[in-house]
Amino acid sequence: MIRLTTILALALSFELSALSLAFADFNGKSRGTSGAQFLKIGPGARPAGMGEAFSAVSDDIHGLYYNPAGLASLRAVEFGGMHDQYFQSLDYNFGAVVVPLGRFRHKKDEMPEDANGVLGLAVYNLSVNDIQRRGLSDSNIPTGTFGASDSAYALSYARRMGKGLSLGVTGKAIVQKLDDQTATSFALDAGALLRRDCAARISGECALSAGLRNLGTRPKFDVSSDPLPLLLYTGGSFKMFHRLTLALDFDFPRDNDPQVAVGAEYRHPFSEAFTASLRSGYYTQNNDPSGMAGVSFGAGLGYKQVSLDFAWVPFGDLGNTFRYSLLLKF
C-alpha cells in the first residue's frame, strides 16, 4: 500500500512540474489576463501586517493560504476568522478550522512529532452589493441593482516528513457569481517548509519555503474564460529569542512581474498568559506611486488561547483597508 506521505511528495512534484510548464511560455502578454482575482487576497491581519511575507512563517491557521506545509507544526485545534473592510465598498471574509489528527488519540502535550498530520478547512468570500444596472438607452438611467460574490472552499492536509521538512497540499472549489451568472472552477495549492535551529546563542530558528497557488481549471462566464492567478513562491524567515521574526518572500505570478514581500514581527510577553505584538511590512504587489501603498502596519493582543489582531494596509488612490482577525486555540 502506498504511504500517504509518498502521495504528498508525488503531488508536490507533479504540481511543480506543471507550474514550470505554465511559466515556460510566460511573457508580457500574460499581464492582467487572470480571472478569480480575489484568490490573490491573503487572509489574516497578522500576515497582512507583515506585508504578507508569511510563507516561511506559517505557524498558525493562516498557513492554509500562505503555505499549507506550515500546518504540520500545529499541535492545537485552531479556529480563525477575519473581516476585511476593503476599498470601494468590497467586503472580504475568511473563516477556517485546523485539526491535528493526533488529537483524537493523544493529548496536546503528549502528541508525537508525527501524529497522522493536520487537516484544515477554510472558506474565503469577497462580495459587493448594490451595483447599478444600466440599460442601453441614451438616458443611461439606472434600471436596478445587482450583486457579485466570489467564494473559495478549501481542504488542506499537511504532514511532517522528518528532519524539519513538512509538505502540504490544498484542494479548492471556486464559485463566482455575477448577477444571474455562475462560474465554477477547481484548484490545487502545494507547499514545502524546512525549519532548522540556527544561531544557538540567540535561540534562533531559520526556515525556507517553496510552493505554488491556484493551479487549476478556468472559470467560465458565458463565452469568457480566463485562467486562474497561478503563482509560484519561495521565501525565508529568521526568528530570534522567540520574540523577533524577520521574513522575506519572492512571488512569481503568471500575470504580472515578480514581486517581493518583506515583514517583521515583535512579540513581547508581559506574563505567561498575556502578550502583545507589533508588525510592519512592505509588499510590491500593492505598490502605487501615490500615498503609502505597499506599506503595512499591524498589532495584536494575545491572552492565553485567544488572539486578536489588526492591520492597516493602504492602497493609494483606491483607499485604505482595515483587517481584523480572531484566533482561538484549544
Burial of 330 (0-12, 13-18, 19+ CB in 10 A): exposed
Average pLDDT over residues 57-70: 97
Distance CA 250, CA 114 (A): 29
pLDDT at 167: 96
Q: Is the pLDDT of residue 313 over 50?
A: yes
In the prediction, which pLDDT does 2 show? 43
> Is-contact 108 73, C-beta < 8 A?
no
Are residues 58 and 157 in contact, defined by beta-carbon separation less than 8 angstroms?
Answer: no
Q: How many domains does the chain have?
A: 1
Residue 130 has pLDDT above 60, yes or no: yes
Whether the pLDDT of residue 298 is over 60: the answer is: yes
pLDDT band at 252 (very low <50, low <70, confident <90, very high): very high
Contacts of the segment 241-246: beta carbons below 8 A, 24+ positions apart: 241/202, 241/203, 242/203, 242/267, 243/267, 243/268, 243/269, 245/50, 245/57
Per 3-state DSSP, what percentage of the chain is helix, strand, and coil (rounded to 5)?
20, 55, 30
Instruction: Specify the range with the lowest mean pLDDT, choosing from 183-192, 219-228, 301-310.
Output: 219-228
Burial class (CB in 10 A: 0-12, 13-18, 19+), 60: buried
Taking 50 as the threshold, does the pLDDT of residue 1 lie above it? no
**Residue linked to cell 482575482:** 37
pLDDT (tens digit per residue) in 139-197: 666 666 667 899 999 999 999 998 899 999 999 999 998 887 899 999 999 999 999 99
DSSP state of 74: -
CA nearest neighbour of 73 among 45, 42, 114 = 114
Of residues 26 and 98, more confidence is placed in 98
Averaged pLDDT of the chain = 85
Q: Quick one: pLDDT at residue 28?
A: 45
* Mean of pLDDT values over 201-208: 88
Residue range 311-330: mean pLDDT, rounded: 88
* pLDDT category of residue 306 using cuts at 50, 70 and 90: very high
Of 8-17, 61-70, 185-194, the least confident: 8-17
291/23 Cα distance (integer angstroms): 33
What pTM was computed for the model? 0.86
What band does 24 get if pLDDT is binned at 50, 70 and 90?
Answer: very low
Mean pLDDT in residue range 304-311: 96
Q: Across residues 39-50, what is the average pLDDT?
A: 96
Tell me the CATH number at 63. 2.40.160.40
Which set of grid coordinates corresponds to residue 269? 510577553
Average pLDDT over residues 48-56: 97
Query: Which residues form the domain of 212?
Result: 4-329
Taking 90 as the threshold, does the pLDDT of residue 287 lie above it? Answer: no
